[in-house]
Amino acid sequence: MPVRTFTKRSKYTIQRWLRHGALALAVSTAMTAGMNTTMMSAHAAVTTADFSNLVQQVTPAVARVNVTKTVSEAELAQAQTAELLRQFFGDRVQIPDQAATPAIEHAYGTAFFVTADGYMLTNHHVVQGADKVTVTLNDRTELDATLVGSDERSDVAVLKVTGTQFPALPIGDSNGLRVGEPVLAIGSPFGFDYSASAGIVSAKSRNFSRDTSVPFIQTDVALNPGNSGGPLFNQRGEVIGINSRIFSGTGGYMGLSFSIPIDAAMDIYQQLKTNGEVARAYLGVYPQDIDRNLAEAYDLERPQGALLTRVSADSPAQKAGLQSGDIILEYNDTQIMRADDLLNLLNRAKPNDTFHAQVQRDGEQMTVSGVVTYAPDDVRARSGDQQENDIQLGIRLRDLTDDEKVEVAASDDAGVLVTTVDPTGLAARSGILAGDVVTNLHQKPIQDVTDFSSAISSLPEKGVVTIEVIRQGIPAIIGLRIE
């Protein structure tokens, strides 16, 4: 399964580098001659890091993940056509569903042992929609794996194989990572098993969108399709991250790689192992960054804090006294420099956790406190609660709040929010994503969870029905295949 990629067009100036190569070499030589001994020693320490013993030590705990999926020929052609059209027309393209003979698709990724009794970590996108998952150890032993649970927002999945005395890897502290620290990755890029690549930590706490709940570790370690789900090690041989995605204009490595911090991953692991799902805290705020102009307008010494543009009615934030226009400067004794800092802390919190925040309001600072809760009306989507057909789509959803109805441009009384998608369920196979707002199912308007339950109980036992959603503000129609 490919590492997730972010596309960005780039232009290279290799010719210019070659043209000025002689000058660059002369300048480099002169600079090197003027270096002091301490700087040269530090440079040598970084560039000559020897991971050979570490690779030999940890490789037995890393495994290749082999994934088998059942897809129709029409779905394969549809995916290729959709990708081609989106290159020209963007994500507004809608491709009608077609029936065809199912085909088998094979994909791969990487996983690693975290317990001696067979629990393994990998990426959600590696096993998403899988019909069968096996893992191949470095001694070529192949084992069937069971999907314990998977979480799309963090891109973490937990697998379990039968057996004992597996070589579990030691877990490190990703919070203690320093920018510039050497790191090592092991995985199966392009199917080349147990390939090692090394680099340094380039940055910490990288966020890409509100759809993810992970402050990624950025490195310059070479990652490619197949590295997904593999471990990222520090020099002590401790796992400090799960390799997840790259930033690329070609689909391959271009110097920017991103890993899930192991602290966040282990929290997800414990919840999936214990409960089979991830419970996230709800505060009910909409924060944004503060730029130079806003800092001056709010009498701040520099751009810092998370400005609350909206506080949801009857939310934990409102009950604690937070208001629109407040600036959160600290949350649970952690300084908040950007909105992402606050979101990262909230994503790590659990329902019923207490919080206290230092807030600036109208030029005055104050402290507020309260208790975060579960997201409102969070319920499982199941066909009619013990109805005869008992179709399980594998999603979790809830009613929209008033603020969310405004944000997704839905009508005042229509839509339910998909909060979780089981990667092995019917919904995932049809392309339904967490964050979608369902407005119609099988030609039945959906205003709330009750409407959805009623519509799902009337679905046929087999065939394709339509489900209308709003995704990132754009309406779409999806063919939901029921098998």
| Residue 456 DSSP class | H
Q: Which of 2, 276, 16 is nearest to 147 (CA)?
A: 276
| C-beta separation of 182 from 235 below 8 A | yes
Cα 460 to Cα 111, 444, 452: the distances in Å are: 38, 14, 15
| 228 annotated active-site | yes
Catalytic option among 97, 125, 195, 312: 125
Residue labelled with tokens 């320093």: 178
Return left, alpha or beta for 44; rule: phi > 0 is left, psi -120 to 50 is alpha, else beta.
Answer: alpha
DSSP string covering 8-58 = ------HHHHHHTHHHHHHHHHHHHHH--HHHHHHHHHHHT---HHHHHHH
Q: How far is it, in rounded angstroms, from Cα 65 to Cα 125?
A: 12
Give Cβ neighbours of residue 59 (< 8 Å, ≥ 6 apart).
138, 186, 194
Phi/psi at 231 (5° precision)? -85, 150
Q: Which of 75, 70, 211 is nearest to 83 (CA)?
A: 75
Q: Which of 359, 371, 366, 291 is nearest to 325 (CA)?
A: 359
Q: Which of 410, 280, 431, 304 is nearest to 360 (CA)?
A: 304
Question: Helices marked H in 240-287 — which ranges?
Answer: 262-275
User: How many alpha carbons lie under 13 Å from residue 336 in its C-beta half-sphere?
Assistant: 30
| 458 annotated active-site | no
Q: How far is it, in rounded angstroms, from Cα 212 to Cα 16?
A: 39
- Segment 16-19 long-range contacts (CB within 8 Å, at least 24 positions apart): none
Catalytic option among 97, 151, 155, 341: 155
| DSSP-based three-state secondary structure for 86 | helix
Return left, alpha or beta for 185; rule: phi > 0 is left, psi -120 to 50 is alpha, else beta.
Answer: beta
The terminus-to-terminus CA distance of the chain in angstroms comes to: 24
Catalytic option among 174, 213, 228, 430: 228
Give Cβ neighbours of residue 4 (< 8 Å, ≥ 6 apart).
125, 155, 228, 244, 245, 246
The catalytic site residues sit at 125, 155, 228
